[in-house]
């Protein structure tokens, strides 16, 4: 495929032409965010894996409907999240989101500074518990935007909402989270 790494638009163009190796590279680049998004929705690593694998296969066959000037990530996250919702529905249950903060966030030798200060472990557990107590819609929008770091556009694609809806629901979800944190404090 040449000496330099191919840009995403080039990889997409190759994949659209049926190049499965180019598509494999695209999958490698997006599999982690796809898996975490599916995990946020299904609450199960096994279900998330099934959903993401299925979604990437479907996305390959749907590449004909992808506009090459559009960003690939929101497009594929929409398919992943949709598949994750289907998987969860067929599983007939909704497991509690089992997010677990890393035990020792300082093990990497990072020096906390005011800007990048890591949360104290107690504060972190409180915040995580408060997020998990939220209603699903609130938890998903906060999860997508902050825990996964998705953009507004990507969050809208993953949750199948309009961007305006993401804005308003996020604002309400933060309000309710703030209330919960105050109750806990």
Partner 1 sequence: MTELEQALTRLGAEIEFPETPELAASVRRRLAGAPRRRNLGRTLALGFAALAVLVGAALAVPPARSAVLDWLGLRGATVERVETLPRVPATAATALELGRPVPIEDGHPLVKVPLVLVPTALGPPDAAYVSDAVPGGKVSLVYEPRDGLPRSRFTGVGVLVTQFSGEASPGFVSKLVDQGVTVERLTVEGRPGLWIEGGPHALLFRGPDGEILEDTARLAGNTLLVEHGSVLVRLEGEVSRERALEIAASLD
Positions in the binding site for partner 1 (CB under 8 A): 13-25, 27-28, 31-32, 34-36, 39, 45, 48-49, 52-53, 56-57, 60-61, 63-65, 67-68, 99-103, 105, 116-119, 123-124, 127-128, 131, 142, 145-149, 174, 177-178, 181
The rounded distance, in Å, linking the Cα atoms of 112 and 102 is 16
Of 25 and 86, which has the nearer Cβ to partner 1? Answer: 25
Nearest by Cα to 148 from 140, 157, 138, 136: 140
Residue 157 beta carbon to partner 1: minimum distance, rounded to whole angstroms: 18
Of 91 and 147, which has the nearer Cβ to partner 1? Answer: 147
Of 99 and 165, which has the nearer Cβ to partner 1? Answer: 99
Structure token pair of residue 36: 């975490």
Nearest by Cα to 139 from 183, 103, 172, 105: 172
Residue 49 beta carbon to partner 1: minimum distance, rounded to whole angstroms: 5
Residue 162 beta carbon to partner 1: minimum distance, rounded to whole angstroms: 21
Of 23 and 75, which has the nearer Cβ to partner 1? Answer: 23
Helix, strand, or coil here: 35?
Answer: helix
C-alpha of 170 from chain center = 15
The rounded distance, in Å, linking the Cα atoms of 66 and 17 is 12
Residue 143 beta carbon to partner 1: minimum distance, rounded to whole angstroms: 8
Residue 105 beta carbon to partner 1: minimum distance, rounded to whole angstroms: 5
Name residues whose C-beta falls within 8 Å of residue 99's C-beta, 6 or more positions apart in sequence.
128, 131, 132, 147
Structure token pair of residue 37: 């998004």
Of 101 and 136, which has the nearer Cβ to partner 1? Answer: 101
């Amino acid at each position: 495929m040449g000496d330099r790494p191919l840009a995403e638009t080039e990889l997409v163009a190759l994949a659209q032409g049926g190049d499965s190796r180019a598509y494999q590279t695209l999958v490698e680049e997006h599999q982690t965010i796809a898996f975490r998004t599916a995990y946020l929705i299904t609450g199960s690593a096994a279900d998330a894996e099934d959903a993401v694998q299925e979604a990437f296969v479907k996305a390959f066959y749907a590449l004909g409907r992808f506009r090459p000037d559009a960003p690939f990530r929101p497009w594929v996250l929409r398919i992943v999240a949709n598949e994750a919702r289907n998987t969860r529905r067929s599983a007939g249950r909704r497991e509690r989101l089992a997010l677990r903060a890393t035990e020792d966030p300082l093990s990497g030798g990072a020096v906390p500074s005011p800007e990048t200060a890591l949360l104290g472990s107690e504060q972190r557990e409180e915040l995580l518990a408060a997020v998990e107590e939220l209603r699903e819609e609130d938890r998903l929008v906060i999860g997508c935007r902050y825990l996964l770091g998705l953009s507004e556009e990507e969050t809208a694609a993953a949750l199948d909402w309009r961007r305006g809806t993401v804005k308003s629901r996020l604002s309400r979800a933060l309000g309710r989270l703030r209330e919960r944190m105050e109750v806990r404090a």
